[in-house]
A and B are shown apart, each in its own frame.
Chain A
Amino acid sequence: SSELTQDPAVSVALGQTVRITCQGDSLRSYYASWYQQKPGQAPVLVIYGKNNRPSGIPDRFSGSSSGNTASLTITGAQAEDEADYYCNSRDSSGNHPFGGGTQLTVL
Chain B
Amino acid sequence: EVQLVESGGGLVQPGRSLRLSCVASGFTFADYAMHWVRQAPGKGLEWVSGISWNSGSIAYVDSVKGRFTISRDNAKNSLYLQMNSLRVEDTALYYCAKDMGIAVAGTIQHWGQGTLVTVSA
Binding site for B on A (CB under 8 A): 30, 33, 35, 37, 42-45, 48-49, 54, 84, 86, 88, 90-101
Contacts and interface: CB of A to CB of B under 8 A. Distances in A.
Nearest to B45: A98
B69 to A, nearest CB: 15
Interface string B46-81: 110010000001110100000000000000000000
Contacts of B106: 90
B47 A97 contact: yes
A94 B44 contact: no
8 contacts: A45-B107, A48-B100, A48-B109, A94-B57, A98-B44, A98-B45, A99-B44, A101-B44
Contacts, number: 63
Interface residues of B, number: 25
A48 B107 contact: yes
Contact of A96 (B44, B108, B112): B108
Contact of B59 (A35, A44, A93): A93
A37 B45 CA distance: 10
A98 B46 contact: yes
B105 A35 contact: no
